Amino acid sequence: MTDHYAVIGRPINHTKSPLIHGLFAATTGQDLEYGAIEGSPEDFAGDVQRFRAQGGQGLNVTAPFKLQAFQLATESSERARLARAANALKFEGEQVVAENFDGIGLLRDIEVNLGQPLAGKRVLLLGAGGAVRGALLPFLAAGPTELVMANRDGRKAAELAQEIGHPLLSVRSYAALEGETFDLVINATSASLVGELPPVPAGVFAQAALAYELAYGKGLTPFLRLAREQGVAQLADGVGMLVEQAAEAFAWWRGVRPETRPVIDQLTLPLT
């Protein structure tokens, strides 16, 4: 009997998740169907309940519903609890179990696929939204010398840092980044979705830095263009993270972890 899964978000027409999970199912021999749901901000819980009533067994959750997904859950992993956000749900009887694979998916893409271990590096995260919340603990566990957050809403970033309470985690205003350099700079803001550049000083990229754009399929975004103009040799967008976190969810649901490299290669577009 075919099992049913889906991704829920808004907007959702751009999603690659059905393609990714279809490829995973084909290569692992799993009998499943995977769709996409345009969620309603006013009735996210209703959307989830309707999917469950139709036989759905699990959901990937994308913006802007990750916080609502966590609040809806009856049981949560430690990762989801600490992030207070969920990017995957599993339905077990009456239970709604929440997980957050964003951080470990991003970390695996950077360290394994891109060959940039975080140990001993200075890392700058731009933004303080759900993706950043999910990334903080896995990143801190990877052993950077410092992890800095910058966000337009400094209070939001400061509250998040206080909540995490780790000595290697600190917050700067964008202006205060002037004169500092980082080995890894990740744009987790929504600026690239509308073709804008976050107000980050041009000089934040160290000589051998990696510039990572969390958005995927946008080509050479203003953030990546700035990095290239500053001489950054290694640029990446979020397609690897997308595939890696999907593989973690697939393994959580199905008990088998698919190979990710062929899927990443198939989805990767030139950064032009």
Per the annotation, binding residues for NADP(+) are 78, 127-131, 214, 238
Structure tokens at 238: 């979020």
CA distance 92 to 197: 42
Cα separation, 209 vs 182, whole angstroms: 7
Q: In the annotation, is 66 catalytic?
A: yes
Exposure of 89 by Cβ count < 10 A (0-12 exposed, 13-18 middle, 19+ buried)? buried
Cα separation, 20 vs 25, in Å, equals 9
The binding site for shikimate comprises: 15-17, 62, 87, 102, 216, 245
Q: Which of 66, 90, 121, 218 is catalytic?
A: 66
List CB contacts of 208: < 8 A, sequence separation 6 or more.
183, 233, 234
- Upstream peptide bond of 270 is cis (omega within 30 degrees of 0): no
> From the annotation, which residues make up the binding site?
15-17, 62, 78, 87, 102, 127-131, 214, 216, 238, 245
Calpha distance 75→256 (Å, rounded):
22
Closest CA to 150 of 123, 168, 171: 171
Q: How far apart are CA 87 and CA 67, in angstroms?
A: 9
Distance CA 82, CA 86 (A): 10
Burial zone of 20 (CB within 10 Å; 0-12 exposed, 13-18 middle, 19+ buried): buried
Task: Provide the token pair at 253.
Answer: 């649901």
Catalytic positions are: 66
